[in-house]
Amino acid sequence: MTTTQARTFESLNPATGDVVATFPVHTAEDVNAAVEQARAAAPWWRELGYDGRRKRLRAWRTLLVQRSDELAELMHRENGKPVEDALGEVVLAVEHLSWAAANAEKVLGRRRVAPGMLAMNHSASTTYVPYGVVGVIGPWNYPVHTPLGSITYALAAGNAVVFKPSEYTPALGKWLTDSFAEIVPEQPVFQLITGFGDTGAALCQAGVDKLAFTGSTATGKKIMAACADTLTPVLIECGGKDALIVAGDADLDAAVDATVWGGMSNAGQTCAGVERVYVVDALADEFIDQVVDRARALRTGAHAAADVGPMTMPSQVDVVRSHITDALARGGRAVVGSLDSVRPPYVEPVVLVDVPEDALAMTDETFGPTVVINRVRDIDQAVDLANASRYALGAAVFAKARGPELAARLRAGMVSINSVLSFAAVPALPFGGSGDSGFGRIHGEDGLREFARPQSVTRQRFRQPLRPMSFRRGGHTVRRLLRLVRLRYGR
Ligand code: NAD
């Protein structure tokens, strides 16, 4: 991605440097105009109702499936990931789109609730009303699955969406909005704006009713500050420093496989990827030997058989290099690769061991195909160290006997037991973190509710003899109520 002139920028193939496409740098006026158009389109989309929206979203799903090869090929060119991984990303996105379309009405539609003792003469219900216009700002690492985790749920809930993809993956953003417009040509329900941070900042100020952000913690803080001006609610999905812990009774082969896949797939550019591994001492030597063998076998490049593609964002290479340098300077050892593994635009797999817990590679998100393995005396120490991070996104546990107990003790929004990242494949499961990983949830019922406001309604069915909320209430009304309350709760 390079700036060619003030008003446009180019998206580049990270492996070759070839131009993928040129896009406008949208100004605040452009962004305001898009939000205005979305505001006009939102009532039409909302009025389609759950049924009408479900039909459109299912038709879009069919189109995504039919053109999955085309989308994956574009992802390979613009983001750099291997085509097979890109296809896997499309599959994930389609599964989530499908779930959101199928479940929006069940989750958000009107539901009756018990009126309780004080309002027994009323019926009570609640329903979820779409916000109106949702702004979505996305990252480049999963340029289809990640933003669609907000976009498809927001659309299913009845909102119009204005989407600003990462400046590293605008062509994919355009592919998504163009394909949606083929299915929904009547109104600009899902629009694209392109540009850098300033364009994103303008979206925060453009009067959207909610802003869903996925990206780095540093930008998440800026987004929240910008949205504070107008009390615009925000959903903040940021980075992670996820741990995988290996107990003494773990299936070693599965834990090794998960470490290598969780740490190195997508060139390690996965928010909930494995960055830290804590393995109990008794298993550590064998575990490390096997990780070394498998990590060494990975092929790096842009060719069809590559397992690890180029780094999408050139500046991330410097972050990865600095983490390896710091880890080695502090006494860590590289058992796979070395500083020489950093060969822009590629980083070949690096496995580090015995890295001090206060090294950058243990405290900060590395976002490259590197993983640190540290030994622990027992699984309790593994849990303590896993939890001692300012991030809290996902985690993985490998244990036969105590998996659920260990999972419950981990400070993480999602935990997979005896696998890695599986939670991302279950659309019914909410996804998100706490601490420096952000707040709020995409996916699942919570992910639908993020994009709608509850509206509660009571309807009086008959008049009660006791009417405490009236100046015409009798002198003893409240005392009589209190007697009832004492009977019920006072003993
Ligand atoms: P980034 O923060 O650099 O950029 C994200 C988006 O924010 C881009 O579209 C960018 O243009 C925009 N932006 C930048 N400055 C802005 C500003 N001041 N106001 C508004 N918008 C602004 O992040 P990135 O490098 O694109 O993405 C990688 C990060 O995303 C990693 O930290 C990764 O862990 C995280 N991530 C998190 C999740 C999750 O679900 N938690 C998923 C994928 C990626």
pLDDT in tens, 133-155: 999 999 999 999 999 999 999 99
Token pair for residue 174? Answer: 């355009």
pLDDT mean over 429-453: 98
How many residues appear in the chain?
Answer: 491
Q: Please, which residues have CB within 8 angstroms of residue 333's CB and are 6 or more apart in sequence?
A: 352, 353, 354
pLDDT number for residue 465:
80
Instruction: Tell me which residues have their CB closer than 6 angstroms to ligand 1.
Output: 137-142, 146, 164, 166-167, 196-197, 200-201, 204, 214-216, 219, 222-223, 237-240, 271, 313, 365, 367, 393
pLDDT mean over 113-128: 95
pLDDT number for residue 318:
98
pLDDT number for residue 192:
98
Whole-model pTM: value is 0.96
Nearest in space to 283 (alpha carbons), one of 248, 251, 245: 248
pLDDT number for residue 474:
86
Element (H, E) at 262: helix 252-264
pLDDT mean over 424-445: 98
pLDDT in tens, 267-282: 999 999 999 999 999 9
Distance CA 184, CA 63 (A): 12
Nearest atom in ligand 1 to the alpha carbon of residue 167 is 11
For residue 6, what pLDDT band results from cuts at 50, 70 and 90? low
Distance from residue 215's CA to the centre of ligand 1 (Å): 2
Pocket probe mutation, ligand 1, options 174, 216, 317, max atoms within 8 Å of Cβ: 216
pLDDT number for residue 3:
47
Q: Which long-range contacts (CB under 8 A, 24 or more apart) does 217-221 make?
A: 217/365, 217/391, 217/436, 217/437, 217/438, 220/438
**Where are any strands of DSSP class E within 26-159?**
111-113, 122-130, 133-137
- Among the listed residues 271, 348, 365, 450, the single catalytic one is 271
pLDDT mean over 301-322: 96
Q: How far is CA 110 from CA 39, 101, 338, in A?
A: 24, 17, 58
Active-site residue flag, 238: no
| Residue 398, Cβ density class (10 Å: 0-12 exposed, 13-18 middle, ≥19 buried) | buried
**Residues 290 and 256 sit within 8 Å (Cβ to Cβ):** yes
What DSSP assignment string belongs to 73-88?
Answer: HHHHHHH---HHHHHH
Active-site residue flag, 271: yes
Pocket probe mutation, ligand 1, options 9, 232, 271, max atoms within 8 Å of Cβ: 271
Distance from residue 216's CA to the centre of ligand 1 (Å): 4
